[in-house]
Amino acid sequence: MYKRVRLKDTVEVPPEALGDVSPNLVKRLLQDKLEGRMDEEVGSIVSVTNVHDIGEGTVLPNEPGVYYEADFDALTFDPQMQEVVDGTVVEVVEFGAFVGIGPVDGLLHVSQISDEYLAFDGENQQLASNDSNRTLGVEDAVRARIVTKSIDERNPRDSKIGLTAKQPGLGKHGWLKEEHERQEAPAEGE
Protein backbone atom coordinates (compact mmCIF):
# COMPACT_ATOMS: atom_id res chain seq x y z
CA MET A 1 0.00 0.00 0.00
CA TYR A 2 1.27 3.47 -0.85
CA LYS A 3 1.23 6.04 1.93
CA ARG A 4 2.23 9.65 2.36
CA VAL A 5 4.06 10.03 5.67
CA ARG A 6 5.77 12.83 7.60
CA LEU A 7 9.32 11.87 8.57
CA LYS A 8 12.34 13.43 10.24
CA ASP A 9 15.95 12.71 9.32
CA THR A 10 19.38 14.31 9.38
CA VAL A 11 21.19 15.22 6.20
CA GLU A 12 24.79 16.36 5.64
CA VAL A 13 25.19 19.53 3.58
CA PRO A 14 28.66 19.58 1.98
CA PRO A 15 30.86 22.68 2.46
CA GLU A 16 30.46 23.86 -1.16
CA ALA A 17 26.65 24.04 -0.72
CA LEU A 18 26.56 25.88 2.62
CA GLY A 19 25.87 29.22 0.92
CA ASP A 20 22.40 28.01 -0.14
CA VAL A 21 20.83 25.70 2.44
CA SER A 22 17.35 25.74 0.87
CA PRO A 23 14.41 23.31 0.98
CA ASN A 24 15.24 22.28 -2.61
CA LEU A 25 18.85 21.44 -1.70
CA VAL A 26 17.80 19.50 1.42
CA LYS A 27 15.11 17.68 -0.59
CA ARG A 28 17.69 16.62 -3.21
CA LEU A 29 20.10 15.42 -0.49
CA LEU A 30 17.31 13.50 1.27
CA GLN A 31 16.27 11.92 -2.03
CA ASP A 32 19.85 10.75 -2.66
CA LYS A 33 20.11 9.37 0.87
CA LEU A 34 16.71 7.74 1.33
CA GLU A 35 14.93 6.86 -1.91
CA GLY A 36 14.97 3.12 -2.51
CA ARG A 37 15.79 2.34 1.13
CA MET A 38 13.63 -0.06 3.10
CA ASP A 39 12.50 0.69 6.64
CA GLU A 40 10.57 -1.72 8.90
CA GLU A 41 8.33 1.11 10.18
CA VAL A 42 7.33 2.83 6.92
CA GLY A 43 8.27 0.35 4.18
CA SER A 44 10.15 1.30 1.03
CA ILE A 45 10.77 5.03 0.56
CA VAL A 46 9.67 5.74 -2.99
CA SER A 47 10.08 9.52 -3.07
CA VAL A 48 10.82 12.50 -0.84
CA THR A 49 8.12 14.95 -1.92
CA ASN A 50 8.28 18.08 0.25
CA VAL A 51 10.57 19.56 2.91
CA HIS A 52 8.66 21.42 5.65
CA ASP A 53 11.26 22.48 8.17
CA ILE A 54 15.04 22.61 8.31
CA GLY A 55 16.55 22.82 11.79
CA GLU A 56 19.71 24.59 12.90
CA GLY A 57 22.92 23.18 11.47
CA THR A 58 25.28 21.17 13.63
CA VAL A 59 29.02 21.01 13.07
CA LEU A 60 30.78 17.81 14.13
CA PRO A 61 34.52 17.60 14.87
CA ASN A 62 36.59 16.37 11.93
CA GLU A 63 33.56 16.43 9.58
CA PRO A 64 33.62 18.88 6.65
CA GLY A 65 29.83 19.23 6.23
CA VAL A 66 27.11 20.68 8.40
CA TYR A 67 24.30 18.40 9.60
CA TYR A 68 20.69 19.58 9.43
CA GLU A 69 17.61 17.84 10.80
CA ALA A 70 14.66 18.16 8.43
CA ASP A 71 10.92 17.44 8.60
CA PHE A 72 9.65 16.19 5.25
CA ASP A 73 6.89 14.29 3.46
CA ALA A 74 7.67 11.04 1.69
CA LEU A 75 5.74 8.62 -0.48
CA THR A 76 6.27 5.08 0.80
CA PHE A 77 5.24 1.60 -0.25
CA ASP A 78 4.46 -0.60 2.74
CA PRO A 79 2.98 -3.99 1.79
CA GLN A 80 0.58 -5.24 4.46
CA MET A 81 -0.10 -8.85 5.42
CA GLN A 82 -3.27 -10.19 3.74
CA GLU A 83 -3.40 -7.19 1.38
CA VAL A 84 -4.63 -7.99 -2.14
CA VAL A 85 -2.29 -6.53 -4.76
CA ASP A 86 -2.16 -6.36 -8.54
CA GLY A 87 1.20 -6.83 -10.20
CA THR A 88 3.02 -8.00 -13.29
CA VAL A 89 5.09 -11.15 -13.64
CA VAL A 90 8.72 -10.04 -14.08
CA GLU A 91 10.44 -13.46 -14.04
CA VAL A 92 9.41 -17.11 -14.18
CA VAL A 93 11.56 -19.82 -12.60
CA GLU A 94 11.09 -23.53 -11.86
CA PHE A 95 9.65 -22.88 -8.41
CA GLY A 96 7.29 -20.03 -9.31
CA ALA A 97 6.94 -16.50 -10.60
CA PHE A 98 8.31 -13.20 -9.33
CA VAL A 99 5.64 -10.51 -9.44
CA GLY A 100 6.41 -6.79 -9.44
CA ILE A 101 4.19 -5.08 -6.86
CA GLY A 102 5.20 -1.46 -6.60
CA PRO A 103 8.93 -0.98 -6.05
CA VAL A 104 9.45 -4.56 -4.81
CA ASP A 105 8.92 -8.08 -6.15
CA GLY A 106 6.97 -10.83 -4.44
CA LEU A 107 7.29 -14.57 -4.99
CA LEU A 108 4.25 -16.47 -6.19
CA HIS A 109 5.38 -20.04 -5.47
CA VAL A 110 4.20 -22.64 -7.99
CA SER A 111 2.15 -24.33 -5.24
CA GLN A 112 0.31 -21.04 -4.62
CA ILE A 113 -0.75 -20.33 -8.21
CA SER A 114 -3.32 -23.00 -9.01
CA ASP A 115 -4.71 -26.33 -7.87
CA GLU A 116 -3.53 -27.72 -11.21
CA TYR A 117 0.02 -28.98 -11.67
CA LEU A 118 2.07 -26.32 -13.45
CA ALA A 119 5.23 -27.38 -15.28
CA PHE A 120 8.10 -24.99 -15.93
CA ASP A 121 8.64 -24.23 -19.62
CA GLY A 122 12.09 -22.61 -19.63
CA GLU A 123 12.13 -22.10 -23.39
CA ASN A 124 9.01 -19.88 -23.27
CA GLN A 125 9.64 -18.52 -19.75
CA GLN A 126 6.28 -19.70 -18.42
CA LEU A 127 4.51 -22.11 -16.14
CA ALA A 128 2.01 -24.27 -18.03
CA SER A 129 -0.82 -26.63 -17.12
CA ASN A 130 -1.35 -29.78 -19.18
CA ASP A 131 -4.94 -30.07 -17.88
CA SER A 132 -6.41 -26.71 -18.91
CA ASN A 133 -3.70 -25.29 -21.21
CA ARG A 134 -3.44 -22.26 -18.91
CA THR A 135 -0.07 -20.53 -18.80
CA LEU A 136 1.56 -17.90 -16.62
CA GLY A 137 4.44 -15.98 -18.15
CA VAL A 138 6.48 -12.80 -18.04
CA GLU A 139 4.39 -9.60 -18.35
CA ASP A 140 1.14 -11.35 -17.34
CA ALA A 141 -1.01 -9.29 -14.98
CA VAL A 142 -1.77 -11.06 -11.69
CA ARG A 143 -3.90 -10.43 -8.60
CA ALA A 144 -2.52 -11.99 -5.42
CA ARG A 145 -2.63 -11.78 -1.63
CA ILE A 146 0.43 -11.06 0.53
CA VAL A 147 0.88 -14.00 2.92
CA THR A 148 4.45 -13.56 4.19
CA LYS A 149 6.70 -10.56 4.61
CA SER A 150 10.32 -10.34 5.73
CA ILE A 151 11.91 -6.90 5.36
CA ASP A 152 15.70 -6.55 5.33
CA GLU A 153 16.52 -2.88 6.01
CA ARG A 154 20.25 -3.27 5.32
CA ASN A 155 19.81 -5.07 2.00
CA PRO A 156 16.35 -4.18 0.59
CA ARG A 157 16.90 -6.55 -2.34
CA ASP A 158 17.06 -9.40 0.18
CA SER A 159 13.56 -8.58 1.49
CA LYS A 160 11.06 -11.34 0.82
CA ILE A 161 7.34 -11.08 0.14
CA GLY A 162 5.33 -14.27 -0.34
CA LEU A 163 2.14 -14.26 -2.40
CA THR A 164 -0.78 -16.60 -3.01
CA ALA A 165 -3.26 -16.67 -5.88
CA LYS A 166 -5.19 -19.83 -4.95
CA GLN A 167 -8.19 -18.12 -3.34
CA PRO A 168 -11.34 -17.11 -5.26
CA GLY A 169 -10.91 -13.79 -7.07
CA LEU A 170 -7.13 -14.16 -7.27
CA GLY A 171 -4.90 -15.29 -10.15
CA LYS A 172 -3.88 -14.22 -13.62
CA HIS A 173 -6.20 -11.45 -14.84
CA GLY A 174 -7.01 -13.43 -17.99
CA TRP A 175 -8.10 -16.43 -15.89
CA LEU A 176 -10.28 -14.20 -13.71
CA LYS A 177 -11.95 -12.72 -16.79
CA GLU A 178 -12.62 -16.20 -18.21
CA GLU A 179 -14.13 -17.30 -14.88
CA HIS A 180 -16.33 -14.20 -14.71
CA GLU A 181 -17.58 -14.69 -18.29
CA ARG A 182 -18.31 -18.36 -17.58
CA GLN A 183 -20.37 -17.42 -14.51
CA GLU A 184 -22.25 -14.70 -16.39
CA ALA A 185 -23.16 -16.95 -19.36
CA PRO A 186 -26.72 -18.32 -19.23
CA ALA A 187 -26.95 -22.01 -18.43
CA GLU A 188 -27.85 -24.34 -21.31
CA GLY A 189 -31.57 -24.96 -21.69
CA GLU A 190 -32.65 -21.58 -20.28
For residue 11, what is the domain's CATH number?
3.30.1490.120
Question: What tens digit of pLDDT does each residue of 99-123 get?
Answer: 999 888 899 999 999 888 999 998 9
Domain that holds residue 36: 2-77
Q: Is the pLDDT of residue 189 over 70?
A: no
Residue 189 falls within a domain, yes or no? no
Q: Is the pLDDT of residue 147 over 70?
A: yes
Query: What is the pTM for the complete model shown?
Result: 0.75
Residue 190 falls within a domain, yes or no? no
Q: How far is CA 44 from CA 37, 115, 156, 158, in A?
A: 6, 33, 8, 13
Q: Report which residue type is found at 61.
A: P
For position 188, what pLDDT does the model report? 56
Residue 32's pLDDT band (boundaries 50, 70, 90)? very high
Domain shared by 141 and 172, yes or no: yes
Residue 176 falls within a domain, yes or no? yes
For position 19, what pLDDT does the model report? 87
Q: Would you say 85 and 45 are in contact if contact means Cβ atoms under 8 Å apart?
A: no
